[in-house]
Amino acid sequence: MTVETGHFALIVALILAVMQSTVPLWAAARGNRELMNLARHTAWGQLICVTLAFCVLMYAFASSDFSVTVVAMNSHSAKPFLYKLAASWGHHEGSLLLWILILSLFGACVATFCRGMPDPLRARVLAVQGMIGVGFMLFTLLTSNPFDRLIDAPLDGNGLNPLLQDPGLVFHPPLLYFGYVGMSTAFSFAVAALIEGRVTPDWARWARTWVLIAWAGLTMGISLGSWWAYYELGWGGFWFWDPVENASFMPWLMATALLHCISVVAKRDAFKSWTLLLAILGFSMSLLGTFIVRSGLLTSVHAFATDPERGVFILVLLGITVGGALLLFAIRAPTMEGGGGFEPVSREGALLINNLLLATATATVLIGTLYPLVLEAVTGEKVSVGPPFFNATFVPLMMPMLAVMALAPLLSWRKASALAAFKQLWVAGIAAAGVLLLSVWISGAGVAGIIGMTVAAWLAAATAYSWVRRWWGKGALRRLISLPMEVHGMSIAHFAAAIVVAGITATSVWQSEAVKLMKAGDSVDLAGYTWRLDRVYDAVGPNYQAVRGEMTVTRTDDGSQVSILYPERRFYPVAQQNTTEAAIHTTGLADLYVVLGEGEQTGGWAMRLYHNPLVPWLWFGAAFMALGGLVSAAGRIRVRRTRTANTAAEAVA
């Protein structure tokens, strides 16, 4: 009975969304205040209904109600309780409902917060949000209903894919969806601005918070997914340029470009067309990603259940959304006022380079991801485009951008002197040269590795210098506190980016690996450590049986113990599936990573040992980057007021 309540609640939410998409738009054009404010009420109504629907779904999973199809397909009574709950979004239908839930949450936030936002703009933003909601709710109700009943309810379910029973995977989708939905909100703001026919610095101020939240969400979601892949899949790698990974990475690149642009609109009233276009394209990338993941077009560990009908629906949704928005852009953008001018060498110039490089990089990732699809559709040939392609195209584009990132905070708006900026960075230059020499001395890095480490050092030192310079001297503490939040946010995020690049480069070029057949008592020397396999024994978990190894790692030179690692191979009887649980010890500067392979007592086990230098910096760096974004979001940006009377009048309203 309760399950049908959830279904009904979703339908009510759909009706509210339809109302929200139509009435406020008409009302904004007419200036009808009451009907414009209807949008706020429908937004709240949607949130309540979808929350109810989601709670119903979670309850069905928590109580192991196998009369509901998705519960029967994705859960099992023996599963640990946390994973029963998390299974609510661990499959296609449920994850869509989560998407819709976060969408309505953001809608309600836009309706409630954003003080000082003029009613017509708010009404239009909520209307576009509503349209997106209609699209997704229709998709869910028509093709992917989580509340479908299974007529002959089985006694127990199929269980969740053991790979997904993991704390990392519990948080990965929600964080990622915060990112995707944030991009949809940015999209709504952009389309609303196009409908209104103008982009003002005040608009940028309100939209900016959403872009920063979306960006932080995507950063956390992607890095959590990458970290999960690292410790779960057992290959010591953290990024495979998998189509689904790319599907989340492309919106992130667009969001990065967008968040820089939107600050410029707020402060300098420039880059308006760029901002609108990036918001539209960023959300398009999100939708494209949704299509790739859920249509079964591509082979991937991520791919949800395949269904061409769903693929066609999403493609249509994508076409309407992107086509409509771009058409609106083509019609309206030329009529918008241009913004403030600037010289080539200036903060704006640097940001322009940043945008171009990010956009081009996104395009290359898109080509690499779609090329196999297109080629197969046209010629029937099957190809795969893997890491070598992306490393050869993406990395060379990012290096110059990182180098310019170091310089940009020191350039002034409108017109700057590059020479003056460089002169200030002589300390950073020395740091970079030092790291360059160190990388060459350590050897084995190759040109790409040396460049990567040098650029990372350059960026880190320059960012630290730019930040300290702003408050150092007499009255430092007072100045530090009174600096705008966005300065701190930017410094944190840029510094963290340098850390991430250092982590990625170091672990890519200086990773050590050993694949050996080891019997109990054997030991292997790798990367200055001695790894000794003490014993291998059987163990039992809540819903699995395991073979567990005990491996002691000591430093080769002085024999001091570093850690005891317990890698496992698990067998899940319900899913009839094996997984390997790698054992990882992190020293902060490197990871010691052990995987237990197949084998038995007499012949030994196939052990894989890895030493991954600086890989922890990747994850910590990514977390710090997201933190930087949130710190910036918390700040109030100082808006450069334009001299139009309209803005003043509406700001009062």
Partner 1 sequence: MKPKTRRLYVVVLALLALGTAAVLVLNAFEDNLVFFYSPSDLVAKNVPAGQAIRIGGLVEEASLVKDGLDSRFKITDGVRTVAVAFSGSLPDLFREGQGIVTFGRLDAGGTFQAEEVLAKHDENYMPPEVADALKAAGKWKPDDQ
Residues that bind partner 1 (CB under 8 A): 161, 163, 233, 296, 299-301, 338, 341-344, 352-353, 356-357, 359-361, 363-364, 367-368, 371, 381-386, 388-389, 392-393, 396-397, 515-517, 569, 575-580, 595, 597-598, 603-604, 606, 608
Q: Which is nearer to partner 1, 244 or 630 (CB)?
A: 244
Both tokens of 546, joined, read 């395991």
Buried b (16+ CB within 10 A) or exposed e, 342-379: beebbbbbbbbbbbebbbebbebbbebbbebeeeeeee
What string of DSSP letters covers 32-81? -HHHHHHHHHHHHHHHHHHHHHHHHHHHHHHTT-TTBHHHHHH--TTS-H
Q: Which is nearer to partner 1, 388 or 588 (CB)?
A: 388
Q: At closest approach, how far in Å is the CB of 386 from partner 1?
A: 6
Contacts of 647 (CB under 8 A, 6+ apart): 200, 202, 641
Q: Which is nearer to partner 1, 71 or 595 (CB)?
A: 595
Q: Which is nearer to partner 1, 360 or 586 (CB)?
A: 360
Q: Which is nearer to partner 1, 129 or 295 (CB)?
A: 295
SS (H, E, C) 351-375: HHHHHHHHHHHHHHHHHHHHHHHHH
Q: Which is nearer to partner 1, 161 or 642 (CB)?
A: 161
Q: At closest approach, how far in Å is the CB of 456 from partner 1?
A: 21
Q: At closest approach, how far in Å is the CB of 570 from partner 1?
A: 9
Q: At closest approach, how far in Å is the CB of 368 from partner 1?
A: 8
Q: At closest approach, how far in Å is the CB of 258 from partner 1?
A: 17
Query: What does the DSSP 8-state code read for residue 233?
Result: S
Neighbours of 335 (CB within 10 A): 8
Strands (E), 75-174: none
Strands 512-518 vs 590-600: parallel, antiparallel or unpaired: unpaired
Strands (E), 57-182: none
Query: Side chain identity at 270, as an amino acid letter?
Result: A
Helix (H) or strand (E) holding 169: helix 167-196
Q: At closest approach, how far in Å is the CB of 65 from partner 1?
A: 23
Q: Which is nearer to partner 1, 93 or 348 (CB)?
A: 348
Q: Which is nearer to partner 1, 188 or 579 (CB)?
A: 579
68 in Cβ contact with 94 (< 8 Å) = no
Q: At closest approach, how far in Å is the CB of 538 from partner 1?
A: 17
The residue to which tokens 């949450």 are assigned: 105
Q: At closest approach, how far in Å is the CB of 373 from partner 1?
A: 11
Q: At closest approach, how far in Å is the CB of 505 from partner 1?
A: 19
Q: At closest approach, how far in Å is the CB of 319 from partner 1?
A: 24
Contacts of 570 (CB under 8 A, 6+ apart): 162, 541, 544, 545, 546, 578, 579, 580, 581
Packing angle, helices 201-232 and 243-268, rounded to 10: 150
Return d(Cα 366, Cα 249) in angstroms, integer: 10
Q: At closest approach, how far in Å is the CB of 66 from partner 1?
A: 19
Both tokens of 312, joined, read 């066609």
Alpha helices by DSSP H, 414-572? 418-424, 426-442, 446-469, 476-482, 485-509
Both tokens of 1, joined, read 């009975």
Q: Which is nearer to partner 1, 82 or 392 (CB)?
A: 392
Q: Which is nearer to partner 1, 63 or 299 (CB)?
A: 299
174 in Cβ contact with 266 (< 8 Å) = no
Q: Which is nearer to partner 1, 184 or 354 (CB)?
A: 354
The residue to which tokens 């910096």 are assigned: 617
416 in Cβ contact with 346 (< 8 Å) = yes
Q: Which is nearer to partner 1, 395 or 562 (CB)?
A: 395
Q: Which is nearer to partner 1, 360 or 554 (CB)?
A: 360
Q: At closest approach, how far in Å is the CB of 142 from partner 1?
A: 25
Q: At closest approach, how far in Å is the CB of 396 from partner 1?
A: 6
Neighbours of 134 (CB within 10 A): 21
